[in-house]
Amino acid sequence: MIRIVPREEYCIGCRLCEIHCIVQHSRSKNIIKAFKSERRPVKRVEVEEEGHVSFALQCRHCDEAPCVTACLSGAMQKDPRTGAVVNDPERCVGCWTCILVCPFGAVRRDEAEHKAVGKCDLCPDLEVPACVANCPNEALLMVEE
């Protein structure tokens, strides 16, 4: 499976990862439409920043994922094939238990849909996740395990 590893010594805090994440998860995958005319998707990566230090953080796709065990509806599952922890929006009821137990704060609410969709899905349609591919300073690395 692949994991995304942040490198804080290379992160410049530009937040392009957040923007490309939003675009990639938009309907049109077009930056202008995604930000101006469509409903803007929830970002699935978050840049933490304090002083000179910053890094981007998204779902770690834990082997023993607390969100999968805790999920009330069974929507949050670990894909045995890819190793990705994925939330099925059809089954998610928005109880927020995943947000309660995620040690990384890596799940966000989609308040409009009332579902916990704001989590990294490793961009299944792309060879390299959008945040990694568009990081200008290689502060996000994709590691194959």
Partner 1 sequence: MAATYDYAIVGNSAAAINACEAIRGVDREGSIILFGEEKYRCYSRPLISYLVAGQIESRGMYYRPSGFYRSMGVEFRKGTRVEEVHAARKTLTTDGKEKVKWRRLLLATGFKPFIPPVPGLEEIDYLTFVSWDDARRMLARTARPARVLIVGAGLIGMKAAEAARARGAAVTVVEKMERVLPQALDAEASRMVWERCREAGIDIVTGQGVAELESRGNGKGRAVLEDGGEMDFDLLVMAVGVRPRVELAEGAGLDCSRGIEVDGHQRTSLEGVYAAGDAVNAMDVVLGRPSINALWPVAALQGKYAGLNMAGKEVPYPGCNSMNAVEFFGLPVLSAGIVNPPDDGYEVISRRSDAGDYRKVVLRGEVLVGMLVAGRIERAGILTSLIQERANVRRVKNFLLEEAFGHIHLPRSVRQERITETAAGIMKAEAARDKGV
The conformational region for residue 21 under phi > 0 = left, psi -120 to 50 = alpha, else beta, is alpha
Q: Do the beta carbons of residue 38 and residue 29 sit within 8 Å? A: no
Q: Rule CB under 8 A: is residue 60 a binding residue for partner 1?
A: yes
Measured from the CB atom, is 18 or 33 closer to partner 1? 18
Site string for partner 1, 90-119 (x = CB under 8 A): xx-xxxxxxxxxxxxx-xxx----------
Measured from the CB atom, is 34 or 102 closer to partner 1? 102
Rounded to an integer, what distance in angstroms lies between the CA atom of residue 136 and that of residue 116?
29
Beta-carbon contacts of residue 109 (< 8 Å; ≥ 6 apart): 42, 94, 96, 99, 115, 116, 118
Q: Rule CB under 8 A: is residue 61 a binding residue for partner 1?
A: yes
Measured from the CB atom, is 90 or 144 closer to partner 1? 90
The residues binding partner 1 (CB under 8 A) are 5-6, 46, 48-50, 53-55, 57, 60-66, 69-70, 72-74, 90-91, 93-105, 107-109
